[in-house]
Structure 1
Amino acid sequence: MAHLHRQRKGHCMKVTWAYDRGDHRNNHEVDLTDPAALEALLHEIHEAREPVAVTIFSKSADDPDELPPGLQIGLGHPTHAFAVHIADDGDYLSDPTAQAPSEAVSFDVGGVPTEYPAEYLRIRPETAIRAAATFLKTGGQPPHVPDASDR
């Protein structure tokens, strides 16, 4: 029974995001093990309609100025998102069925508004959220654009 519980619980990962509020940064950080809880949180962040980068990682980086290995997704834009695997060989995920926006989109990254070029935004918010849930479920396996079999 313990084995089944451990499998369902998943891996513990840290989820962080921050908004620039002009006179201060509004920082958020939670630890999650349940992919469904992560999906619910990411839907909530997305539905706030404030474009923000959310970073998901399992351990801290050795250098505090560097991002630890993980996944970063941009949510909050109505139709476009980004998802980038933070690793030595990491890259932006691209959904061949998604159109790039007509111009760059700014996302809050750690409380710093940052423009992302249109070519990095070839993924839908729902797809980015599913990729993040799969990333948590697999314990940080390199992410991919999920298809129907990943549900």
Structure 2
Amino acid sequence: MKVTWTYDRGDHRDNHEVDVTEPAALETLLGEIHQAGEPVVITIFSDTTDDPDDLPPGLQVGLGHPTHAFAVHIAGTGGYLTDPTATTPQRGLHFDVGGVPTEYPAEHLRLRPETAIQIAATFVRSDGAPPHVPETSK
């Protein structure tokens, strides 16, 4: 699967793209991105679309904030995943999306970073099956 993310560097965009086939390699990569402490949206997908402005089916994960993250399944029946045991931040948080700082509402940020990483690894392991919050998180 392809994994992409971009940071806004003011005078330029810092684009990244890697191919990942092993869930453990993805967990390591996402852990490193998260530890950098720069909130960013990572897109994970296997298929491309004909329209470069359309998101391909896949998963987006927001990491880099110390305590809050998100995961959203990009598909016709997809949506944001939430862990009922995770606290909701008091306000929305900004994440870089394709190099554009974007605010995500608090209600979409109901995952812990380690849970979002686990969801992403399972998504790769299952070859793109619809993601879910692991039972161990609940």
Shorter-chain TM-score category? Answer: over 0.9
Q: Output the TM-score relative to the length of structure 2.
A: 0.97
For these two proteins, the number of residue pairs brought into alignment is 137
Q: Which residue of 1 aligns with 2:25?
A: 37
Moved beyond 2 Å, runs of 4+: none
1:120 matched to 2:108: yes
Q: Deviations over 1:39-84 (max 9, x none)?
A: 0000000000000000000011221101100000000000000100
What is the one-letter code of the residue matched to 1:29? E
Structure 1: tracts of 5 or more residues without a match: 1-12
1:15 matched to 2:11: no
In the aligned structure 1, how far is the partner of 2:69 from the partner of 2:136? Answer: 19
2:87 to 90, 94, 99: 99
In the aligned structure 2, how far is the partner of 1:104 from the partner of 1:66? Answer: 25
Alignment of 1:2-151 (within 5 A): 13-148=1-136
In the aligned structure 2, how far is the partner of 1:110 from the partner of 1:96? Answer: 29
TM-fit CA distance, 1:34: 0.4
TM-fit CA distance, 1:89: 1.0
Q: Which residue of 2 aligns with 1:7?
A: none
Task: Report the RMSD for the aligned CA atoms in angstroms.
Answer: 1.0
Structure 2: tracts of 5 or more residues without a match: none
What is the one-letter code of the residue matched to 1:116? Y
In the aligned structure 1, how far is the partner of 2:50 from the partner of 2:125? Answer: 24
In the aligned structure 1, how far is the partner of 2:134 from the partner of 2:32? Answer: 20
In the aligned structure 1, how far is the partner of 2:46 from the partner of 2:134? Answer: 21
Q: Secondary structure of 1:55's match?
A: strand
What is the one-letter code of the residue matched to 2:67? T
Larger Rg: 1
Q: Output the TM-score relative to the length of structure 1.
A: 0.89
What is the one-letter code of the residue matched to 2:39? P
